[in-house]
Structure 1
């Protein structure tokens, strides 16, 4: 018998990385994201253009597959890792962390995520899930979103690993230490490791972390009596709560828009303040030094109510100049004579930390992906003495029992 591993997307892109593990009548698919924005293209066109993975039976109800046991496992709820779920034609079991399920359902209720035919099922840390001949175990990891996992896939003879997106300088590096040691002790046959940071040249010498971001935020609150406006990413729940805690510590209330407030209320019993519900713009205008306001791009003109404010861009949308809205944001602030202060932190490990993780795992075969330049990471891994592979799309990697 044998297990076949096929990379379906994401070999030279950041995100959209999808891999299938197949054995007998059983198949598990790791992550199910997209790298494209909203489109009017029909599903068949997306398949033909390879914008969706080559699993037509998942997307076209008239196509029947031969796997009796099928499941998709989502490492975390970033669009580039789960955005294709909206295109499912029939009900498919989709596993993700309980926190990710809660967030996903909330986003759907807010129309921030399209409906899906996914049959959402929770997978709990270190509680194996059986899908036919394959066993999947999740491990908590560190990324800039709630409920991020690393996955181990076992067939009784081999062990395969999908790192998911990972960093080593976040608030939960101990999670990464924990699973790298477990993997090292078992030496996996195959280790898929992300390589986002190998994509970019001319990196800044200063790397912001979640911890330093929070310290910088506190310093801003200490140094100004103006209203402070933040534009964070809605799915980084842990950061949002930390920002709220620091604001209260500094004598300010953080006020959220409806979408953010709903997400936070559904994630905790703690009270959050919503703009125009708990706090009015009139109250903020009268005492701006008592508030921090979360402002999304779509609500940008709400800031016309204020004569002056400090604007902190914290990985919210639009994230960078590749997005046409970024120029609009820059122009709006320039006209208002307000500096655009960047205060973001990456969810991805540095090049050095990626190599450290790969060396610690010491798999029999390591595959770099989730990068514009996987060949750079590949060479760096080889210099460490690791055996690597840069597969082609749909190329079967065969593991015999």
Structure 2
């Protein structure tokens, strides 16, 4: 029986990439994210304009005899944000760490997908779904529990890289699964290409921080400034949050977290997490670092601009979000510089080329990028067979 591989979304966007593998009435879907979907937009409109993948039986009352299982490579919104729109009970598989984080986010009300039945797939433990075998491999990304995913149909092997980097704290994880895939002579490799989206002279490309250099620079900033330091990190990057707390203590400061961050960190095993006590901060601001979310920005009014602000991949992430202009305007009014101190969870272009070369698939698809054709060109230059599908296109194996 043939396998149909359909590209449903994310071919020329950063995130929101969705692919399905179908054989008979067995359908595997991975990932299941959205890029940007205002909460008030009806599901039907999101389906009609292509924000949601073209799977109407999952988002409406349309009946289907397909047995669908969803697989989530990691818990970023652009890879799992469509779960809340499911209209029928559907099994959703993810790693243990992702499931743990999803549970606490659900308890906090940050996530809610009543029709998603969350199940765990252990790393490197093949599981059968119809005639498909699915295996998760632990990878390095800026989310705990992130995975690359291999699908076998008994004859062919397909791989979804998920989001990946090679200059993070665990390149050995990537090298491990890349070695396994190279030996498997895979048929189709779906490779993210986020960092190919940007030109060399883009502002975001001037400095390439890593998780390690973020901590080094953070420590230096703490030593150089004798006033309150405010950080705006991403709540789902648990490992960075824990590292920031440890770095602050090494440099004589205590990070205070809001209740949501503190709850998430404790649930994910981070020890000795302290919540914000404004009375203590006002009394001795240079002893503290305060985590500040955009919706709590005016908590900083009491410091009359006497603070350092470090933007660490928290929301609003960039200029495409209207709230970013509000953040910049607030800091400008207080004569505070917005300092960026974040690190990408995505591999450098040259690392993506090296990874694709090493895996050496019979066919590589570039996606999860504003410029997939740019990545495709780089891969072709090193002799790889690259395919650029169109949205909705199906390959038959």
Q: Same fold (TM over 0.5)?
A: yes
Across the aligned residues of Structure 1 and Structure 2, the Cα RMSD in angstroms comes to: 1.2
Tell me if the contact between 2:85 and 2:113 (Cα under 8 Å) persists in the aligned partners.
Answer: no
Correspondence for 1:273 = 274
Correspondence for 1:261 = 262
Deviation per residue, 1:343-373 (Å, 9 max, x gap): 0111111110110110000000000001111
The alpha-carbon deviation at position 269 of structure 1 amounts to 5.6
Give the distance between the partners of 1:60 and 1:326, measured in 2 at CA: 34
Deviation per residue, 1:298-340 (Å, 9 max, x gap): 1111111224111111011111111111111111111111111
Correspondence for 2:60 = 60
Within 5 Å, which residues of 2 pair with 1:176-325?
176-201=174-199, 202-203=201-202, 204-268=205-269, 270-275=271-276, 280-307=277-304, 308-325=306-323
Report the more deviating stretch, 331-340 or 88-97. 331-340
Tell me if the contact between 2:37 and 2:51 (Cα under 8 Å) persists in the aligned partners.
Answer: no
Tell me if the contact between 2:86 and 2:115 (Cα under 8 Å) persists in the aligned partners.
Answer: yes
Q: Does 1:340 align with 2:341?
A: no
Tell me if the contact between 1:27 and 1:134 (Cα under 8 Å) persists in the aligned partners.
Answer: no
* Count of aligned pairs between the two proteins: 393
**So what's the TM-score if we normalise by structure 2?**
0.97
Give the distance between the partners of 2:159 and 2:270, measured in 1 at CA: 35
Find the residue that maps to 1:2 and give its secondary structure: coil
Correspondence for 2:21 = 21
Find the residue that maps to 2:320 and give its secondary structure: coil
Correspondence for 1:358 = 356
Give the distance between the partners of 2:269 and 2:4, measured in 1 at CA: 42
Tell me if the contact between 1:87 and 1:116 (Cα under 8 Å) persists in the aligned partners.
Answer: no
Give the distance between the partners of 1:48 and 1:106, measured in 2 at CA: 32
The alpha-carbon deviation at position 96 of structure 1 amounts to 0.7
Give the distance between the partners of 2:302 and 2:37, measured in 1 at CA: 32
Within 5 Å, which residues of 2 pair with 1:29-48?
29-48=29-48
Tell me if the contact between 2:164 and 2:347 (Cα under 8 Å) persists in the aligned partners.
Answer: yes
Deviation per residue, 1:242-271 (Å, 9 max, x gap): 000111111211100011001001101612
Tell me if the contact between 1:24 and 1:133 (Cα under 8 Å) persists in the aligned partners.
Answer: no
The alpha-carbon deviation at position 235 of structure 1 amounts to 0.5
Structure 2 portions without partners, runs of 5+: none
Give the distance between the partners of 1:391 and 1:335, measured in 2 at CA: 47
The alpha-carbon deviation at position 395 of structure 1 amounts to 1.7
**So what's the TM-score if we normalise by structure 1?**
0.96
Tell me if the contact between 2:86 and 2:113 (Cα under 8 Å) persists in the aligned partners.
Answer: no
Deviant stretches of 4+, over 3 Å: none
Deviation per residue, 1:143-181 (Å, 9 max, x gap): 111110000000111100000011111111111111111
Tell me if the contact between 1:52 and 1:84 (Cα under 8 Å) persists in the aligned partners.
Answer: yes
Deviation per residue, 1:55-100 (Å, 9 max, x gap): 1111113x12232x32100001111110100000011000011111
